[in-house]
Amino acid sequence: MKNKIDIIYEELQKPLDRSVILRREHDKLEYIAGYVAIAQANKIFGFDSWGYSITKYPELIQKDGALGYLCAVKVWVKLNGELVEKEDVGYKDVTLTKKEKKPMLEVAYKGCVTDALKRALRSFGDQFGNSLYDREDKLEKISDTLSTEEEKGMSEYMQTLLDCKTEEEVNEALDNIAQIAIQDKWTEKKLNHMKMLSKRVKDGIVVKNSRKEKREQEKKA
């Protein structure tokens, strides 16, 4: 029978479930939401075995001509009867409301605490999005992304993938696309983009089909 510490270490070694990862459109930066990080901590460490404190309360600062809040948070986790502590800083820009252009101070104040919490938690590994902070990896992702103009040129093939109902249809569509890619001498970037999209479509079809099966089973029951 495994003890609690072994179970925790095992969980921490696992790669992060990609479905919880969000992506900022403007710079393609991947991240996890604050509530996801907290849910992960509760799940892995236990509700009563971890917590955090604000070691530096949010301070309004000016950075690169913009206003933002900066703070620091310390996370503690009870592991094997001992307290393990990780501390990090957090920052959040003060943005303006769309209509009245008023600064959203409260959002930034709370947001910087969430940022610091996530950054402190990431010291515990990939379950808290540590790999998403890898800059080299992010740069590759940015350069792999097609511009809107390039995407427009691929829209016919994107629609073909959207019309697929099964994984087999997606494979067939991708084979056809690969042949066109060779014929028309596509760049590796374009072809990789289509491969990535077809994988996404297949994953989506698998989830939809399993939900459909579950609903049908529930109806029968």
Residues contributing to the site for another protein (CB under 8 A): 19, 22-26, 98-99, 147-148, 151-152, 155, 158-159, 161-163, 197, 200-201, 204-205, 207
Let me know: does 56 contact 85? Beta carbons within 8 Å: no
For residue 70, the SS3 value is: strand
Query: By C-beta, is 54 or 146 nearer to another protein?
Result: 146
Q: In angstroms, what is the minimal distance from the CB of 30 to another protein?
A: 10
**Residue 96 carries which DSSP code?**
B
Least distance (Å) from another protein to the CB of residue 201? 5
C-beta closer to another protein: residue 99 or 102: 99
Q: What is the token pair recorded at 198?
A: 């077809």
Nearer to another protein, 64 or 100 (CB): 100
C-alpha torsion 51→56→60→64, nearest 10:
-90
- Please state the closest distance from residue 208 (CB atom) to another protein, in A: 8
CA terminus-to-terminus distance, the chain: 35
Beta bridge partners of 83: 78
Shortest gap between Cβ of 23 and another protein (angstroms)?
A: 6
In Å, what is the CA distance from 67 to each residue of 28, 56, 107, 109? 23, 18, 13, 11
How big, in percent rounded to 5, are the helix, strand and coil portions of the chain?
55, 20, 20
Q: How far is the CB of 12 from another protein (least distance, A)?
A: 23
Nearer to another protein, 2 or 24 (CB): 24
Choice between 7 and 162, CB closer to another protein: 162
